[in-house]
Chain A
Amino acid sequence: MASITDTSPITVAPPRKRKKLEIGLSLAIAWLAAVIGLAVLAPYVGIQNPDEGDLLNILSLPTAEHWLGTDSLGRDTLARAVYGAQVSLIVALGSVTIGLAFGGALGLTAGYFGRLSDRLIMGVMTVLLCFPGIILAIALVSSLGPSVGNVTFAIGVIFIPAFARIARANTLSLRNREFVLASQALGARTPRILIREILPNLMPALLSYAVVMLGVAILAEAALGFLGLSVRPPQPSWGGMVAAERGNLADAPHAVFIPAAVMFLTVLAINVLGEATRRLFDIRAQSL
């Protein structure tokens, strides 16, 4: 669970204008589009059944029938990688949404109202931060059962404090800006100020952080897979595939490397996208 609570990458804001990155960005978007497209359309585009395998044809190298080879149960690696994308993407989007929604709301409240609510909310957030996420993950997944929903929830909860911190910090600086003060002077109600004035200005920071966390969530799912705490077999997930096949590294490296590579490229594409989002928002912030 190495970098789940890592709040760092957003603070970087290198002012760069380069053509090369544009190419990188296009490639990243193309890859993500392909992964999402395949994940959604999997049943309609002739992808094989990911759960059915031929036990007489295990760990086979890529062939005409199995483009990316087969795994330890003779199942098509391509099919499993595609269906695994569904799990990894749902977990990523779901957990980041949980973190964003709850963390954002809590951070906004703490930052805007300050005083007791700030101390209380941020105290609870610190408790969550120093509470080892692994216990929560093991408790949730082993008591409620291994399912996409529970894995998503466990990772999402772990994400909340980081989003809350960012939302709070940004709210603190926005709270005293002219447009907020003006709105207050005009007698706007608090919910309106929060939602109409502060939230929109909060979103760039939160969203660019959210993009980075999508990648972190995919890796977190993989880490849970390593500990045998991801989705219920035979449902594939990238992390689960790498974890299940990693013992075969010597005799069938493709069974390990292909899901690892797909995961790597996806997280890489998300990180490239994250970098671009941040630049986009930075530019907009500068032009304000």
Chain B
Amino acid sequence: MAISRRIGFINIISGLVATAALTLPLATSGAQAAEPKKGGSVSITLESDLPSLDPLSFASYNDRNAGLLMYDTLLDIDEKGNIIPNIAKIDAAKDATSFKLTLRDGVKFTDGTPYDAAAVVKNFERIRDPKNRCRCISDLSTIDTIEATGPLEVTIKMKSPSAHFPATLADVPGMIVSPTAAAKYGADFGTHGIGAGPFKLKEWQRGAQVVFERNADYWRKPQPYLDEVVLRPMPDEQTRYASLKAGNLDIVTNAAARDRVDAAQGKKFQISNPGSLATSFIQINMKSPDVSDPRVRLALALALDRPTLNKALNRGLYKIANTPFGTGLFPHEAVDGYPGYDPAKAKKLIEEYGKPVKVKLSINASPQNAINGQAIQQMWKKIGVETEIVPLEQVQLVRAAAARDYQVMLYRWAGGADPDKNVHQFFHSKGTMNRPNYSNPEMDKLLDAGRATTDKAERLKIYRQVNNLLAKDLPYLFLWYFDNVALVNPQVKGLKPIPDGLLRMQTVWKDK
């Protein structure tokens, strides 16, 4: 069902080829069934309008999609989630304490200034300046020094081992802005946004659409193929799919399960399923009443009949999760036993606990989350646990999580391209987002060890232990891996399913 299979798009810039061939023009496609056609415009949904085009404020899926259009990234990930060279390649010291970036020669920002080592260094200075409040600042907390060691070479030294660092450069911190433009526009840079991506801003009609036009000087010739990419904010989920059906839209991102089923039945649209990097889960505040007891947490986990939940809530489309690592990360499902469905045992544990258990489940106030919350409530009721649902607006929900002002919370994390990004900041006792109030010295040791080597096999062993420990301590009750599924107009070709779910529009073309 994935587009990749139908179109037969094979990405050959991975593994060996990638590290060797930076100076050669990179092949853009292998065995492509049809030759890409030039021209045309593709429109894509946004859940809400972009707040800004400045990577400093990027966080949401929407922001990052726009960022890829305008800035591209230093590094990228492939269909399997491997880090691959893009505008730069990276070499890591074996102990992951220093990295060397080598930039592609001749890349220019759309204002004509060079994309060189000096520009990259300036960008990192900009991001790391606390005054700029980059949302991504915590990703870069382990950096010690960044230096231009050549016109196209940047050397980064770390305070502590940081094997996760390259993945960071495939995301927001890897979106390099033109330092000249940033200085020129100052605080207003967010309304202009100058980068070296496949597209550049043509016009932004706030609330209605953001129009990007082709960057004719994009470094990877002959891409991009499209003349125009239009992002359209559409707050209502039902309207998004209706607009696709009515032919007013080309791509609906993050499609609802029922729309996927409908699209599959109608056979009118392509369904692009790139897999996932992370999970939906129930986050537990381990210092709050009742759920601080491991028996209660285990009982809550055992009471969840996740296959049934998935069938009822997601039309059975998602994959049940037992680890925090999505399909695009190597420790995906590397776990030796996670509590399955066992209501009898759950009941017994609650009886053993001896007190009546009441939980407050905080959720985002959207209709789908309300339904999910109620389904969980019903399952917990069966083992004698009363649940009160607390619907909160997203801003309030984040606030409650940050302040650890909750007992249990239905939550979702978009995930990073390195396993570390899904666990270290959440489960390390000193993690900046340790929202479960979790503290286990063994976990701290494992998480630090996971950063200290670039050897994949060794890291896999470490993260398997992390998964096993999570299954025992249960700061999260895992639900399922959510796929960033897009429903796509059949005329749109060449979309690569990358597990972060973001759209690389440079390879896309329209068959009219």
Contacts and interface: CB of A to CB of B under 8 A. Distances in A.
Contacts of B258: 247-248, 250-251
B409 to A, nearest CB: 15
Given A233-B370, A233-B373, A234-B374, A250 B391 contact: no
A52 interface: yes
Q: Indicate the size class of the contact surface on chain B.
A: 20 to 34
A251 B262 contact: yes
A142 interface: yes
Nearest to B365: A228
Contacts of A146: 391
B238 A233 contact: no
B392 to A, nearest CB: 8
Contacts of B305: 55
Contacts of A250: 258, 262
Given A55-B308, A55-B309, A247-B256, A73 B371 contact: yes
Interface string A41-56: 0000000000111011
Of the candidates A52, A55, A74, A244, the one having the most CB atoms from chain B within 10 angstroms of its own CB is A55
Contacts of A234: 374, 377, 389
B366 A228 contact: yes
A233 B391 contact: yes
Nearest to B370: A233
B393 interface: yes
Contacts of B365: 228-229
A91 interface: no
Interface of B is mostly: helix
B107 interface: no
Interface string B368-410: 1011011101100100000011111100100000000000000
Contacts of A183: none
A33 to B, nearest CB: 31
Interface in B340-372: 365-368, 370-371
B311 interface: yes
A55 B378 contact: yes
Nearest to A250: B262
A52 B381 CA distance: 10
A58 interface: yes
Contacts of B377: 234
A7 interface: no
A55 B308 CA distance: 7
B237 A247 contact: yes
A52 B391 contact: no
Nearest to A57: B312
Given A73-B378, A233-B389, A247-B256, A55 B312 contact: yes
Interface in A241-282: 243-244, 246-251
Contacts of A196: none
Contacts of A142: 392-393, 396
A250 to B, nearest CB: 6
Contacts of A58: 312
Contacts of B21: none
A232 B367 contact: no
Given A232-B389, A232-B391, A244 B370 contact: yes
A109 interface: no
B261 interface: yes
A232 B361 CA distance: 12
A56 B371 contact: no
B371 to A, nearest CB: 5
Interface in B223-273: 237-238, 256, 258, 261-262
A97 interface: no
A73 B391 contact: no
Question: Most chain-B CB neighbours within 10 Å: which of A56, A146, A247, A249?
Answer: A247
A51 B374 CA distance: 9
A233 B374 contact: yes
A72 interface: yes
Interface string B293-327: 00000000000010011011100000000000000
A228 B394 CA distance: 12
Contacts of B367: 228, 243-244, 246-247
Contact of B378 (A52, A228, A232, A249): A52
A145 B374 CA distance: 17
A257 B511 CA distance: 40
Given A55-B378, A73-B312, A234-B374, A247 B389 contact: no
Interface string A114-152: 000000000000000000000000000010011000000
Contacts of A228: 365-367, 370, 391
A53 B392 CA distance: 24
Given A55-B375, A232-B391, A247-B238, A74 B262 contact: no
B2 to A, nearest CB: 23
B39 to A, nearest CB: 34
Contacts of A72: 312-313, 371
Contacts of B378: 51-53, 55, 73
Interface string B71-112: 000000000000000000000000000000000000000000
Contacts of A53: 378
A145 B313 CA distance: 25
Nearest to B257: A247
B369 to A, nearest CB: 9
A250 B256 CA distance: 13
B311 A55 contact: yes
A229 B309 CA distance: 25
A250 B315 CA distance: 14
A142 B393 CA distance: 8
A56 B308 contact: yes
B227 to A, nearest CB: 34
A244 B363 CA distance: 15
Contacts of A244: 367, 370-371
A246 B238 contact: yes
B255 to A, nearest CB: 11
Contacts of B309: 55
A74 B311 CA distance: 12
Nearest to B391: A146
Contacts of B381: 52
A233 B390 CA distance: 8
Given A142-B393, A228-B366, A247-B258, 7 more contacts: A51-B378, A55-B378, A56-B308, A73-B371, A232-B391, A233-B370, A249-B238
28 contacts: A51-B378, A55-B305, A55-B312, A56-B308, A56-B311, A56-B312, A72-B371, A73-B312, A73-B375, A142-B393, A145-B390, A146-B391, A228-B365, A228-B367, A228-B370, A233-B370, A233-B374, A234-B377, A243-B367, A244-B370, A246-B238, A247-B238, A247-B258, A247-B367, A248-B258, A250-B258, A250-B262, A251-B261
Top 10 closest pairs, chain A to chain B, by CB: A55-B312, A228-B365, A233-B370, A234-B374, A244-B367, A58-B312, A55-B308, A233-B389, A233-B374, A72-B371
